[in-house]
Chains A and B, each alone.
Chain A
């Protein structure tokens, strides 16, 4: 850059070639990398899922051994939770939070680069276990000890290090998001003026900060049990296998809210935009999100109702869990009240958001059922649970990520995506997901345990149906990839506002968003 153009330094574009992506500290570049990485992991984890559903298409062992089947369920869960859903939301946070609060970038840009670049290596290490002699981890994504310690394949150590790396990445990412939101809001952007997506992410970031170290703790205890002769989880050495579950779920329950709270934020933005009406009950949405976050810390043992807790513990966790229905209900009611008397149009993001409201609520209902401890004895560890958490995670978290992608894609690329293809993608996904997961409720109630590679004959029909749904859903995601690539390469130019009901700072900058935005903070009245 010539000296005479020094003032242009603040407006230079991205570097060229691979170094742009390796060295970048730009929140938009890093956001893009997170999203692309997440999409790749979504396809990988989806492939694992299709192996599972192919094996379960019919009774009997067709394609894989029971041991490999267990590796698939484990890797599917780990890759989807830590590789697909969480990085996708961090990617959305990177792209959108600075633009939504009028900040020039994330507060800690270099750390931002590092938190992303740890991830590909963590997942490379995790995936490499598939090619090891011992095979990949085969003890489920919940990795209960002592199956994951004394009885684990030797690849467990790689799994532990991979989880450590993911944890470091998440902790740094959440510190960055907290620092950004609390320090870089444009003048006049008070907390209660922040877009709901920013609010839900702020709360999510605190959850991450609180529980990722707990996850790191539990895998470190495993590491010590396996290699250094301790007996945290080994009854033979005076340890306690149930302790593992308490520590794991103290992380694990807030973790499920980490995967859904940002989705609440996304859906709140979209429902309001396409209803052309201000979000109903903004304040109560913020309070409801905070209540859910608080409750998430005191309900963990509802995952452990069958472990033989004392009656008092069982009752406490049942009541506390039932309470979560209250703030969650408030959110659903508020979304519907936002649509009520609005002026609704059905672009792809809105279709996904409406499906989110309907199907996430389904998952909420089954969640309420699972909270009833004596009934949970019949549901626990069956396909009913599988159906429940997939309803909140796929048409919940994943649909919200897709909704967000369609919603903000014109802002990212400057081009409109193909609306007809988008709607086709939505309907294929919507039908596929319900054919895939709805029959699993029946399977679970009829008595089919989860994580089994083969099943009794009375479960055959619904398993076949479920597998058909899985393949419809799985392959229609290739259409999603096509639509995103097509929009990135060209298409109808998007305006700055993109949507006629759009609201918020991100729609005041041109589309595509310039490499640097809000170098001078906007003033919010």
Chain B
């Protein structure tokens, strides 16, 4: 009975939406999405169902309430000679319009409770992923399985020129990343969420998951995706100046493809560990550092290294980037308390850290110090600090 009503109701809604949308091309506009996505999980479909049910309850109430209002405004106009009645009280009416909404609410609360309870059941997950929010990127750490631990950052990959209106905006403008989260389809995946600095919120509409990533807390959420595909979302909790620029992209693949991907990532992680210990030349480090700088540092310190003073100081010609290298390493690894400068020691691998420091000292702005630091030395500095 209820599903049939829901279906009819959904058809009606689509009808209304379609009529509205049909008018849009006349105005020269494409038809944009206007309603919540049904998503690709059982939970997201249930959530959509709740959403549509409550909308239709509201529409029904609105039709009655606004109907009586409009009727009164038309019928009982002074200009039409309406004479006011003198009644001002009816206990019966008051009881009726207190009780009816109450009953409707109970009817709504029951399915809402069921869906909510289901979203809280994180048991029996086959895969655990720790999601850590950083200003302003997501880190994904695969906790299950043997072998080398797989951990990586997922950064906005939209070029700054597109944001600055200097280049044509791409199809997935602001919703694209350098490295998406990859999970298998038809598998219960548990997400553990936390944050390294401020509160973020991990939201993928197609999964109907929005969960805050809070420093000092580990929150849980879970997903079991029904269809392979690429799903996009964004950070949903104001987390500082780049809050609008930390998208989420999840690639959902078949189990076999996922296994192959994970194996490849494990191998790559092992390779990084090895690379850290090998010999590096200054040129190699500068090339490595240029990429890292453009991903992590450029938003504040700018491509020129001149920064945006006073909030974001210049690196070109700065005492830190041209003075003793120990101080420079210290600032990059541990950040500067009370400023926007984050501690990058945990964010970047030793190769990236050595690269970016060497780059900043030798190739950024007017800096030509001439020295360098190797990944192995960074590793030593990190171990010494602990």
> Residues of A contacting B69 with CB < 8 Å?
336, 339, 354, 357-358
Indicate whether A344 sits within 8 Å of B76 (C-beta atoms), given known contacts A449-B203, A457-B173. Answer: yes
**Which of A1-9, A136-144, A166-174, A429-437 forms part of the interface with chain B?**
A136-144
A354 touches B73 (CB 8 A): yes
| Most chain A CB atoms below 10 A, which of B24, B73, B172, B211 | B73
How far apart are A57's CB and chain B's nearest CB, in angstroms? 12
B210 touches A451 (CB 8 A): no
> Residues of A contacting B242 with CB < 8 Å?
66
B215 touches A138 (CB 8 A): no
Residue of B nearest to A73 (CB): B238
> Residues of B contacting A368 with CB < 8 Å?
54, 58
Let me know if B163 is at the binding interface, CB within 8 A. yes
Rounded to whole angstroms, the CA-CA distance of A240 and B215 in the bound complex is: 9
Residue of A nearest to B94 (CB): A284
Contact pick for B88, options A278, A315, A460, CB 8 Å = A278
B82 touches A342 (CB 8 A): yes
Indicate whether A462 sits within 8 Å of B32 (C-beta atoms), given known contacts A240-B216, A345-B78, A378-B210. Answer: yes
B162 touches A60 (CB 8 A): yes
B234 touches A449 (CB 8 A): yes
0/1 string, B169-206, CB within 8 A of A gives 1: 10111110000000000000000010001110101010
> Residues of B contacting A135 with CB < 8 Å?
311
> Residues of B contacting A333 with CB < 8 Å?
65, 93, 97
Let me know if B19 is at the binding interface, CB within 8 A. no
Let me know if A147 is at the binding interface, CB within 8 A. yes
Residue of A nearest to B44 (CB): A378
Rounded to whole angstroms, the CA-CA distance of A153 and B151 in the bound complex is: 32
> Residues of B contacting A60 with CB < 8 Å?
162-165, 169
Let me know if B101 is at the binding interface, CB within 8 A. yes
Contact pick for B68, options A147, A307, A336, CB 8 Å = A336
0/1 string, A361-374, CB within 8 A of B gives 1: 10001001100111
Let me know if B386 is at the binding interface, CB within 8 A. no
B62 touches A361 (CB 8 A): yes
Tell me the A417-471 residues at the B interface (CB within 8 Å).
442, 445-447, 449-462
Let me know if A235 is at the binding interface, CB within 8 A. yes
B32 touches A442 (CB 8 A): yes
B169 touches A375 (CB 8 A): no
Residue of A nearest to B176 (CB): A456
> Residues of A contacting B211 with CB < 8 Å?
306, 308, 377
Let me know if A22 is at the binding interface, CB within 8 A. no
A374 touches B119 (CB 8 A): yes
How far apart are B303's CB and chain A's nearest CB, in angstroms? 16
How far apart are B312's CB and chain A's nearest CB, in angstroms? 9
A454 touches B163 (CB 8 A): yes
> Residues of A contacting B90 with CB < 8 Å?
280-281, 337
> Residues of A contacting B77 with CB < 8 Å?
343-346
How far apart are A385's CB and chain B's nearest CB, in angstroms? 10
A276 touches B78 (CB 8 A): yes
Residue of A nearest to B97 (CB): A333
> Residues of B contacting A461 with CB < 8 Å?
24, 29-30, 32
Let me know if B141 is at the binding interface, CB within 8 A. no
Residue of A nearest to B113 (CB): A315
Residue of B nearest to A370 (CB): B54
Let me know if A381 is at the binding interface, CB within 8 A. yes
**Which of B33-41, B315-323, B345-353 forms part of the interface with chain A?**
B33-41
Let me know if A189 is at the binding interface, CB within 8 A. no
**Which of A32-40, A95-103, A316-324, A487-495 forms part of the interface with chain B?**
A316-324
Let me know if B239 is at the binding interface, CB within 8 A. yes
A315 touches B68 (CB 8 A): no
B243 touches A452 (CB 8 A): yes
Let me know if A325 is at the binding interface, CB within 8 A. yes
Let me know if B109 is at the binding interface, CB within 8 A. yes
How far apart are A252's CB and chain B's nearest CB, in angstroms? 15
Contact pick for A365, options B61, B120, B162, B199, CB 8 Å = B61
**Which of B45-53, B268-276, B356-364, B369-377 forms part of the interface with chain A?**
B45-53
How far apart are A316's CB and chain B's nearest CB, in angstroms? 11
Let me know if A326 is at the binding interface, CB within 8 A. yes
B116 touches A314 (CB 8 A): yes
> Residues of B contacting A65 with CB < 8 Å?
241, 308
B33 touches A446 (CB 8 A): yes
Residue of A nearest to B54 (CB): A369
Let me know if B209 is at the binding interface, CB within 8 A. yes
Contact pick for B210, options A66, A357, A365, A381, CB 8 Å = A381
Contact pick for B120, options A240, A311, A372, A453, CB 8 Å = A311
B32 touches A278 (CB 8 A): no
A308 touches B217 (CB 8 A): yes
How far apart are A269's CB and chain B's nearest CB, in angstroms? 14
Rounded to whole angstroms, the CA-CA distance of A449 and B215 in the bound complex is: 21
Rounded to whole angstroms, the CA-CA distance of A161 and B106 in the bound complex is: 45
> Residues of A contacting B233 with CB < 8 Å?
447
A133 touches B109 (CB 8 A): no
> Residues of A contacting B135 with CB < 8 Å?
151
How far apart are B235's CB and chain A's nearest CB, in angstroms? 7
A452 touches B244 (CB 8 A): yes
Indicate whether A241 sits within 8 Å of B116 (C-beta atoms), given known contacts A378-B36, A451-B238. Answer: no
0/1 string, A476-499, CB within 8 A of B gives 1: 000000000000000000000000
B239 touches A345 (CB 8 A): no
Contact pick for B173, options A59, A361, A369, CB 8 Å = A59
> Residues of B contacting A62 with CB < 8 Å?
165
Let me know if A179 is at the binding interface, CB within 8 A. no
A241 touches B215 (CB 8 A): yes
Rounded to whole angstroms, the CA-CA distance of A146 and B213 in the bound complex is: 12
Rounded to whole angstroms, the CA-CA distance of A358 and B90 in the bound complex is: 23
How far apart are A183's CB and chain B's nearest CB, in angstroms? 29
Rounded to whole angstroms, the CA-CA distance of A338 and B112 in the bound complex is: 35
B240 touches A458 (CB 8 A): no
A280 touches B89 (CB 8 A): yes
What are 8 inter-chain pairs, A to B, with CB distance below 8 A?
A: A70-B238, A147-B238, A279-B88, A308-B220, A337-B93, A345-B78, A378-B47, A445-B34
Apart from A239-B216, A308-B217, what 8 extra A-B contacts exist at CB < 8 Å? A66-B242, A146-B199, A147-B238, A275-B84, A307-B214, A342-B76, A378-B36, A378-B205
Closest 4 CB pairs of A and B: A235-B216, A452-B244, A308-B219, A446-B33
